[in-house]
Amino acid sequence: MTRNASIDPAARDVDLLPPCVILCEPQLGENIGTAARAMANFGLTDLRIVNPRDGWPNEKARAAASRADHVIDAVQVFDSVEAAVADLGHVFATTARSREVAKPVRGPDEAATIATRLGAGGTRIGYLFGRERWGLNNDEVALANEIVTLPVNPDFASLNIAQAVLVCAYEWRVKANNGALPFRLDELQNPPATKDDLVRLFEHLEGALDAVNFFRPVEKRPSIVRNLRNILQKAALTDQEVKTLRGVIAALEGRATRPRSTEPDQL
């Protein structure tokens, strides 16, 4: 089957200010790196780190980022959450637990809708993520405008930081470019088989089965033929797939394979 490998321009068309990601006191470089990789997957590049335990730069983070070097190279390090969010107009604090701080609570899809709307107007947005072991404290959550929590199993709510970043980044990307996919199969290069082609396939298959006495007892032939044709109809075969199946049937019939021409002027 021929595939159109070109990238749909709509998949790159994100004409608004993307959010930043703030990691509060991450312990492991690997978690920073995998968070950076998740960001790069969905077009986010502004990664901010507050007091990383093992300092910065961190080679383990770069290795775990899996070639998201543009995110790692642009990392900003801050001494406090207050400094990390100082230039932002709207901050979402991510947490899996109920807090004493009274704030609107959003799912990641709702937060993404708000983030894209504000980003389109030029407001800088941030997603704040807590420590691996115990997340954000109440004072840090108080700095945020809203809380984001994921629809996880409440009896097992803890996510790896990179997983949480990925979910939020994914939801933002879906809203930012209306869910445009990088590619789809091109129907012009993969046209559906015509009914005439399908009938020829049916007849070819049925003739080959007749030759080996497949239809037994003979009186059941009409119902078996209908079943076979229905199966093939459900497959929604393309023109190339029909040609492939007919080639398979011909090979099973023992027909000689057509020689491939090496001369450009020969058929």
In the chain, the number of structural domains is 2
**Are residue 17 and residue 116 in the same domain, yes or no?**
yes
**Are residue 86 and residue 143 in the same domain, yes or no?**
yes
CATH at residue 84: 3.40.1280.10
Burial class (CB in 10 A: 0-12, 13-18, 19+), 140: buried
**Are residue 106 and residue 137 in the same domain, yes or no?**
yes
From the list 45, 84, 90, the residue with the least C-alpha distance to 65 is 45
**Are residue 160 and residue 246 in the same domain, yes or no?**
no
The domain of 214 spans 195-252
**Are residue 41 and residue 118 in the same domain, yes or no?**
yes
- Reported pTM: 0.73
**Residue range 47-81, pLDDT digits in tens:** 999 999 999 999 999 999 999 999 999 999 999 99
Domain boundary pick from 146, 176, 206: 176
**Residue range 96-123, pLDDT digits in tens:** 777 677 899 999 999 999 999 999 999 9
CATH at residue 239: 1.10.8
**Are residue 82 and residue 165 in the same domain, yes or no?**
yes
